Amino acid sequence: MTESVVTAPPEASIAEVAGLMRDRNVGSVVICEGGRPVALITDRDVALTIAADGVESSERVGSYATHPVVTGQLGMDLEEAAAMMIQHRIRRLPLMEGDELAGIVTLDDLAVRSGDLELAHQMTAEVAKAALPEFFFHQRGG
């Protein structure tokens, strides 16, 4: 888990959030309102959804972030976090401690933590297949 979660308000511009990603070397920013996570935006969202569609970088990020955001609880089991990520087709899971954002765990974090390379590959494949079924089952004939 990464404890220092990069956050931004829904009113932040796309350019501001992209700058945060660059400057903090992260692939996602949790959008918070009143200290609580309400959405999440990734570098992939910025590149493929926003930039590819010609959205102005001055627009508010809140309209383009994924919401509602799925969160887990600090201290949850590795298997429970992995199952939640697969079920919801997500690669990043913000973790809460009560009402406070405590950190974020990524699919890569879970794979490294497990220490099992085969399990890591399986977890990554499961999330990718769940998130991109058309790619895996149509275009690739799987």
Q: Enumerate residues 6+ apart whose C-beta is below 8 A from 52.
A: none
99-139 pLDDT, tens digit per residue, is 899 999 988 787 777 676 676 677 777 766 665 555 544 44
In the block, residue with structure tokens 């972030």: 65
pTM: predicted TM-score of the whole model, two decimal places? 0.80
DSSP state of 70: P
pLDDT digits (tens, 9 = 90+) for 4-58: 899 999 999 999 999 999 999 999 999 999 889 999 999 988 888 787 888 898 9
Residue 80 has pLDDT above 50, yes or no: yes
